[in-house]
Amino acid sequence: MPNLSMMTSAAALALGLSAVAMPAFAQDATPLTLQLKWVTQGQFAGYYVAQEKGFYEEAGLDVTIKPGGPDIAPEQVIAGGGADIIVDWMPAALAAREKGLDIVNIAQPFKKSGMELTCRKDTGIETPEDFKGKTLGVWFSGNEYPFLSWMSKLGLSTEGGPDGVTVIKQGFNVDPLIQEQADCISTMTYNEYWQVIDAGIPESELTVFKYEDQGVATLEDGLYVMGEDLSDPKMVEAYAKFVAASMKGWAYAAENPDEAATIVLDNDMTGAQTEQHQKRMVSEINKLVDGSDGTLDTSAAENTVAVLMGGGSDPVITKQPEGAWVSTVTDKMKELSPQ
């Protein structure tokens, strides 16, 4: 984990904005609804911390956080007016945008991808060239896009056969690997990988391919809004305050990971999460946020586009996106709280 002995720039920025936003107490708070990409867990600790610690309230915001799930597509929620802001992966967002949904990335809390493919060593897989003829578990509902681009880059058909790979639709668990139904499965550094370990397969018996290391990483867990909202200066300011307060929450989670995990657990209405798993998840997630102040690295966005367009005869997106990300909100955030 990074050295957290000093307050990150994100925390300092958000603290400054809190001071700017204090007069908002005299007015009604601006309501905003955030739709998460998945269920309540450490993956979203920064938002729950910001809510629990009053960072949103200090910024003059009344934020509602809506958990996601296997049957919830954030793009559909925001398209239907069910959220003002969504947490989404850029591949899914760009695919939806090309189909006509004007969603725009306004901030990027996660600097790095946590996606990986985890394989049993006893399958003989040591390098990506060994995937040929193997069965690989893949998540769908928009999560398959980076994988499909990677297979295309490797020249492997996903239709099966001795010269391709057989793809099975993986549920949001690790059963296919444990039960040897698949040679490899999709995992995240902060979640499913550790489920495999907890299921009794030691790290020494696993081969892991991180998308970051394979040059096919795409941006994950960005913040997206509808493009039309960005023409309203009041909404831009509200979004700027939201991003700053959220990044203050992420900075707090980095400095206090165990407390952040407890806050997540307190907000898990299903009771499905465990303390050990959430503490581990928050620690791993902090490595992906890595002190971000929310500003999007455009080179990482452009690399995401290149990966998605490199899908051979069936690319995820077919043309360079225009207006898919803006710095309007993070620029406003810095304007409100100059450092």
Residues 132, 63: one domain?
no
Q: Other CB atoms closer than 10 Å to residue 6's CB: what's the count?
A: 9
Query: What's the Cα-to-Cα distance from 238 to each of 33, 69, 121, 171, 234, rounded to whole Å?
Result: 12, 26, 50, 37, 6
Determine, yes or no, domain membership for 4: no
Residues 126, 96: one domain?
no
Structure confidence at residue 190 (pLDDT) = 95
Determine, yes or no, domain membership for 203: yes
How many domains does one find in the chain? 2
Structure confidence at residue 313 (pLDDT) = 65
Query: What's the Cα-to-Cα distance from 249 to each of 11, 54, 89, 196, 254, rounded to whole Å?
Result: 8, 9, 20, 29, 9
Determine, yes or no, domain membership for 195: yes
CATH number, domain with residue 41: 3.40.190.10
Q: Other CB atoms closer than 10 Å to residue 335's CB: what's the count?
A: 11
Last residue within a domain, chosen from 214, 236, 256: 214
What distance separates the 2 farthest-apart alpha carbons in the chain? 68
Per-residue pLDDT of the chain (339 residues; tens, 9 = 90+): 333 333 344 444 444 444 444 444 446 899 999 999 999 999 999 999 999 999 999 999 999 999 999 889 999 999 999 999 999 999 999 999 999 999 999 999 999 999 999 999 999 999 999 999 999 999 887 678 889 888 988 999 999 999 999 999 998 889 999 999 999 999 999 999 999 999 999 999 999 999 999 989 999 999 999 999 999 999 999 999 999 999 999 999 999 999 999 999 999 998 888 999 999 999 999 999 999 999 999 999 999 999 888 766 677 889 999 999 999 999 999 998 865
Cβ–Cβ under 8 Å, residues 34 and 63: yes
Structure confidence at residue 312 (pLDDT) = 63
Strand partners, 96: none
Determine, yes or no, domain membership for 57: yes
Structure confidence at residue 107 (pLDDT) = 98
Structure confidence at residue 293 (pLDDT) = 96
Determine, yes or no, domain membership for 141: yes
Instruction: Work out whether strand 166-169 and strand 135-138 pair parallel, antiparallel, or are unpaired.
Output: parallel
Here the tokens at position 211 are 């998308």
Residues 99, 246: one domain?
yes
Residues 328, 227: one domain?
yes
Last residue within a domain, chosen from 158, 193, 214: 214
Residues 317, 237: one domain?
yes
Here the tokens at position 271 are 């009771």
Determine, yes or no, domain membership for 299: yes
Q: Is the dihedral of CA 94, 98, 103, 105 positive or negative?
A: positive
Last residue within a domain, chosen from 214, 245, 265: 214
What residue spans of the chain are helical by DSSP H? 9-21, 45-52, 55-58, 74-79, 90-98, 145-154, 175-178, 192-198, 211-214, 233-255, 257-267, 275-289, 298-309, 328-336
Structure confidence at residue 311 (pLDDT) = 62
Residues 331, 194: one domain?
no
Structure confidence at residue 171 (pLDDT) = 87
Residues 230, 108: one domain?
yes
Structure confidence at residue 211 (pLDDT) = 94
Residues 258, 313: one domain?
yes
Does the pTM surpass 0.75? The reply is: yes
Which domain range does residue 97 map to? 9-112+218-336
Residues 225, 328: one domain?
yes
